[in-house]
Structures are given as structure tokens and as C-alpha cells.
Amino acid sequence: MLLIVTAKTGKKEERIIPLEKGLFEVWTKKQPIENKANNDIISQLSKYFKIPKSLIKLSKGETSKKKVFEISDL
């Protein structure tokens, strides 16, 4: 499954906002330095979908606000 995520970094709270099927806005307190924001987004998605972090992979947009994550099947 592919997820398109718009990352909002440096927020005061963490939240996942589903916009449409497969399209999300994710707020993170982390800054986009040394992959901290990307790692936090993966953690949040893991909790949201109740799956291990190891099943979530960032496939596009490592340095962009628009990111594509791939979730592997169990």
C-alpha cells in the first residue's frame, strides 16, 4: 500500500490527519534535520496503523514536504 504524506515539521503537537484515501497530513514536533522528522513520521504511522515500523519504508521525498511511504504486507 502506498501513502502520500504532507509533512508539517516543527509543530507543537503530533497528529495524523487523513485527507483522502491514501493521502495524509502528518504533524511532527521534530525538525527535518538528520532524518529526525522522517523517523518520527514512520513512528506515528506505525502507531496509527498498528503495525511494526519495519513494515513502513520511505520510498520518495526524503528531503521534501511531500513524501511517499510504502507499507509492506504482513
pLDDT given at position 73: 79
Q: What are the structural domain ranges in the chain?
A: 2-71
Backbone Cα Rg of the chain:
11
Q: How far is CA 52 from the centre of its chain?
A: 13
* Residue range 4-59, pLDDT digits in tens: 999 999 999 999 999 999 999 999 999 999 999 999 999 999 999 999 999 999 99
Q: Which residue has the cell 484515501?
A: 21
* Matching CATH number, 2-71, of 3.50.50.60, 3.10.310.10, 3.40.50.720, 3.30.1200.10: 3.30.1200.10
Averaged pLDDT, 58-62:
96
The pTM score is: 0.92
CB 67 within 8 A of CB 4: yes
Q: Positive or negative, the Cα torsion across 59, 57, 71, 12? A: negative
Q: What is the rounded distance in angstroms from the CA atom of residue 20 to the CA atom of residue 3?
A: 10
